[in-house]
Structure 1
């Protein structure tokens, strides 16, 4: 299967400078995400060349040493020949509403369990982008994550985090006397991540509503956007989300 001539893929990975905070560079995390792609049997669109032609494929295996990836080869010999001559595949897929994109280079033909396949070194870079830009980790998988918000007059709110993403957090705050109002910005907030240095962030309050806990206590749920987050801090949050998600999946299995 091919796209029409001249139709190049419009992928976020091609604008890596803009989406740098969603790029994964750590080999073990990349291998983990790609094994998720394999376990979901997600279809991959592998683009090659300048005209937007593509192969439809899937991940067969990530080698035990995390050094190589194997893809299903397909049956269109002419298209396969074109892809191999380019030597590079720009791969895009999606699992559970999360976009995943990566580039494979040094591709070569090989065998996998008696069938032809494509083999390539594990990509050194992978984009993981939730549909609305962020993947959100819910409270059930959080381990006592807290955010400390300085208030006027030297006071401080120590709030429990309900969920977290690369773009924001939701917290639980007391219903009275917290000075949290929609559209307010709070600087120098400290987000405590387990097994990691605290992350200093600015929070833009986007929405507030009252809710009751299972015990009947009334609290405020406050949704906040993370403002001007440095790339290093964003990567730190993304690493925490990936680690927590990986541990949750291992517990379920």
Structure 2
């Protein structure tokens, strides 16, 4: 359950580019459901102020949505008194922004939550800050992750990569990540042998079912403070793989 209040200072959603505004209730419900399915953390600003607290979409139905509260009574008091919340979230570096009116406090399994009607509109910025490359199996980078028990480091294949982060598939026995947590002491190994020491922040966790029926988790990880020159190394790798892919498409060896 989220526990702290932060001070930021977002501008109102009205300033967002109109072409990214979603008004179709069915699309809004689908986007909110994806936030709930992926357990994506969001930042809630009561009355659009700079004071915020972490929340999440717990449930979406025909009547509206259920939002997570805080374990801090004073935060819930202020959130319940607010006329609206401005909510900000990010899934795989795609920003989502919406406003819920008059959230009503309730109890859900003895925890404070808030019910609200579906937002009338939602901003979904369908653009990415970085170009992402889906990595070929035979030339995949690898993510080296320190084992929680201090044993041998975990090693995960990188399924896509950009200058901003990576996605990895976790075996069932390696379900060790927590949303929004920062993990220092990781490394990115590129196929040409270059190794980059990185810190990673977990942006998304999605459980999928493999062809054999076994669950598998896909994690979206954001780089936090790349060392000098690392972004250029990653871009060189991306460009090289893209050149090879285009050459194959053009029938070149």
TM-score, normalised on structure 2?
0.48
Q: Which has the larger radius of gyration?
A: 1
